[in-house]
């Protein structure tokens, strides 16, 4: 092979005698590489596929767990909301219970006052009734015996009656 004075190789020139033998790309077969374990590249590819599949399985498993955690979070949020509502309702009921208890205590005290007042009034009424019954009995007796006269003492409740002396007959 000789070079032309232009410094170009004749094989590279188009239209030359060897134009049909020209190579645009060179394809080579790679020699099988040995891994550290002593296996060839196709076995490595199978192992890599298994590892990739295992990683994909683990990713699917982790996503499933993540979905479960998200569902649990939603459940917990719902439980927290119900707990807040229940706590608020319990507080409201406790306040209502306290208010009702205070109202009942006030009503019980008022009932005691009214009962005591009623008992006093009833005792006075009974005393007045006894006095009125005594007066009535005395008035009936006076009405039945016209000769009796009534004399009042200082205490109006204690009335005394006496019979006036009978007129003396002239003999």
Domain residue limits, the chain: 37-148
Contact 147, 162 (CB under 8 A): no
Burial of residue 41 (CB within 10 Å: 0-12, 13-18, 19+) is: middle
At 19, the pLDDT band (50, 70, 90 cuts) reads low
- Distance, in Å, from the CA atom of 152 to the CA atom of 162, rounded to the nearest integer, reads 10
Q: What is the pLDDT of residue 94?
A: 97
Which of the four pLDDT bands, split at 50, 70 and 90, describes residue 128?
very high
Average pLDDT rounded to a whole number, residues 36-58: 80
Q: What is the pLDDT of residue 85?
A: 97
Segment 122-149 shows an average pLDDT of: 87
pTM above 0.75, yes or no: no
In which band, very low, low, confident or very high, does the pLDDT at 38 lie, cut at 50, 70 and 90? low
* Residue 61 pLDDT class (50, 70, 90 cuts): very high
Q: What share of the chain is helix, strand, coil (3-state, %, to 5)?
A: 65, 5, 30
Rounded to whole angstroms, the Cα distance separating 153 from 163 reads 15
Q: In terms of pLDDT, which residue wins out, 159 or 130? A: 130
The per-residue pLDDT for 112 is 97
In this prediction, residue 5 carries a pLDDT of: 56
What confidence tier does 64 reach under pLDDT thresholds 50, 70, 90?
Answer: very high
Whether the CB-CB separation of 146 and 131 falls below 8 Å is answered with: no
Q: How many CA atoms lie within 13 A of 115 on its CB side?
A: 6
Task: Give me the half-sphere count of Cα atoms (radius 13 Å) on the Cβ side of residue 9.
Answer: 6
């Amino acid at each position: 092979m000789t070079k032309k004075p232009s410094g170009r190789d004749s094989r590279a020139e188009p239209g030359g005698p060897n134009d049909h033998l020209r190579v645009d790309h060179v394809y080579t077969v790679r020699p099988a590489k040995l891994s550290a374990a002593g296996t060839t590249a196709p076995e490595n590819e199978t192992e890599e596929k298994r590892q990739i599949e295992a990683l994909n399985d683990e990713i699917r498993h982790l996503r499933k767990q993540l979905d479960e955690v998200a569902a649990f979070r939603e459940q917990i949020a719902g439980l927290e909301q119900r707990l807040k509502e229940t706590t608020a309702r319990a507080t409201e009921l406790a306040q209502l219970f306290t208010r009702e208890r205070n109202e009942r205590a006030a009503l019980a005290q008022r009932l005691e006052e009214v009962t005591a007042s009623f008992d006093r009034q009833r005792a006075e009424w009974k005393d007045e009734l006894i006095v009125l019954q005594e007066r009535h009995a005395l008035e009936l007796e006076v009405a039945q015996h016209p000769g009796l006269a009534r004399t009042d003492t200082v205490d109006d409740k204690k009335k005394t009656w006496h019979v006036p002396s009978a007129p003396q007959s002239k003999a």
